[in-house]
Homo-oligomer: A and B are copies of this chain.
Amino acid sequence: MPDIHEECGVFGIFTKQMNSDVASEAYMALYALQHRGQQSCGIAVNDDGVIRSYRDMGLVPETFNPEILATKLGLGNMAIGHVEYSKYANSSRSDAQPLVVRHVKGTMALANNGSLVNAQELREELELKGAIFHSSTDAEIISHVVIQERLSSKSIEEAVEKAMFRLKGCYSMVIMSPQKLIAARDPEGFRPLCLGRLGEDYVIASESCAFDSIGATFVRDMKPGEIVVIDQSGLRSIETHCGSKGHICVFEYVYTARPDSVIEGASVHEARRRAGAFLALESPCQADVVVGVPDSGLDAALGFSQQSGIPYGIGFIKNRYVGRTFILPTQKQREDAVRIKLNVLKATVAGKRVILVDDSIVRGTTSANIINMLREAGATEVHVRISSPPFINPCYYGTDIDSKDKLIACKMSEEEIRQKINADSLGYLSLNGVKKIANCTTGCDFCTACFDGVYHAGVPTQTESKYDKFNYHINEKR
């Protein structure tokens, strides 16, 4: 599934104890959120009003070490952190977050997961007033809007509250002012953001698995539209923008989130297992063994097996040593590249009719390679079952999917896809099915725009040119 990327994960911690090692807590939490972004990461620490930060390209364990945590960040009473997958080819250190800026009332640090649909309009509006931009991030646009509102507000939280009237689209952000930790989730709640406690302290994270990694306790999901303010006097909530029941991205359950996270009251693992079970009901098949594509297809494969009674098998071994593996372009076949990551377990599939469960088909190339590997290993039949409906629409709310011209489901019928990937049969989970996989206890509904084209926060009115996407340093030329 290398062609779909979630863009970011965020974390925040507030403790009343000055001189705490909040940097190490942020480090461990970001390490648990690493699956949400592998290109860059950063941490900002607030030491009683003085903010220090460190950010760089690379994985969390590559970027930080005890010396950097101690010398570049040090002790403090608040910290926020960020992991990012950037969609821009030319991404650089200046795009890494948290963003730390100085403004009229002091300093602010901000980290965001999401994508604004009015980013281009806001930037132009700001530029027309003379604003200058150092990066291509939404985080910098949001910072401008918040600071502008700060001029006429009594507090940073009031500024965030006002700014949210101007931000359209998807955002789950943490903000650190000299004295406060603030978290805000867009009114539709497209991306997850939850609240926890670590002893007496408060923590905020994109996913609950970050709480587990530091021994914190999950308290609740933030409401769609909610602003949470944490300072020495405790936690309070601003619900001005609340009202919608919310539309959490269903693809968080299908692929993005870690299986051990619980989002809107529903276990991600359980949602995936149910997706597999529904798939077995919707698209049954005679076979000898059910295998999942690691790691995201394993839970659905187990669910398929449990529902169908067909034995579950471990079909693949994934190389655990990922890191900065490079591509070898001179390799015999570019398609062989998948072999270095994934190997078939012949003992499981040889001589058997295999049901292969995966979470999605994007371009079809990877699926074709995997099916080919299964056949080489002796599988007599390969039946592909996908635990979500076909992708046919772009995501404007923070998931980076290929453009329409590369999405196989936009160009081919199901039968054509089956032939292209050389499967004996092919079945997708239905739209109705995917809407039932997670039993959200919070009343939150799903965003399924990538499957059905229903965009609850609108679409971009103005899009950047393709060229601009890959190099924001493009220009006036007059």
Contacts and interface: CB of A to CB of B under 8 A. Distances in A.
Given A132-B143, A347-B269, A50 B104 contact: no
19 contacts: A21-B330, A52-B90, A61-B322, A61-B326, A102-B473, A105-B478, A107-B474, A130-B131, A130-B147, A134-B134, A177-B475, A259-B314, A259-B345, A260-B343, A260-B345, A267-B346, A269-B317, A302-B313, A306-B311
B473 A51 contact: yes
Given A127-B104, A475-B49, A212 B339 contact: yes
Contact of A133 (B27, B51, B101): B101
B151 A339 contact: no
A440 B436 CA distance: 48
Which one of A50, A258, A314, A474 has the greatest number of beta carbons of chain B within 10 Å?
A: A314
A66 interface: yes
Interface string A240-263: 000000000000000000111010
B267 A347 contact: yes
Given A61-B323, A108-B132, A209-B317, 5 more contacts: A32-B340, A32-B343, A101-B133, A131-B147, A269-B347
B106 A130 contact: no
A453 interface: no
A394 B473 CA distance: 40
Stoichiometry, as copies per complex, reads 4
Interface of A: 21, 24, 27-28, 31-32, 34-35, 38, 49-52, 59-62, 65-66, 90, 93-94, 99-108, 124, 127-134, 136, 143-144, 147-148, 150-151, 177-179, 209, 212-215, 258-260, 262, 267, 269-270, 273, 295, 298-299, 302, 306, 311-314, 316-317, 319-326, 328, 330-332, 336, 339-340, 343-348, 471-478
A213 B340 contact: yes
A136 B100 CA distance: 12
A62 B325 CA distance: 8
Contacts of A473: 50-52, 100, 102, 107
Which one of A131, A295, A312 has the greatest number of beta carbons of chain B within 10 Å?
A: A131
A31 B476 contact: no
A314 B339 contact: no
Contacts of A21: 330
B314 A344 contact: no
B130 A336 contact: no
A31 B340 CA distance: 8
A34 B321 contact: yes
Main secondary structure, interface of A, reads: mixed
Contact of A49 (B34, B128, B148, B477): B477
B34 A105 contact: no
Q: Which 3 A-B pairs have the closest CB atoms?
A: A178-B475, A106-B476, A104-B127
Contacts of A348: 269
B144 A212 contact: no
Which one of A104, A209, A474 has the greatest number of beta carbons of chain B within 10 Å?
A: A104
Contacts of A179: 475-478
Given A31-B319, A212-B339, A326-B66, A102 B133 contact: yes
Nearest to A301: B314
A339 B214 CA distance: 7
A325 B61 contact: yes
Given A24-B330, A130-B144, A321 B59 contact: yes
A265 to B, nearest CB: 12
Contacts of A472: 102
A80 B127 CA distance: 24
Contacts of A347: 262, 267, 269-270, 273
A104 B132 CA distance: 8
Nearest to A324: B61
Given A103-B127, A269-B348, A320 B320 contact: yes
Contacts of A51: 473, 475
Contacts of A322: 61, 320-323
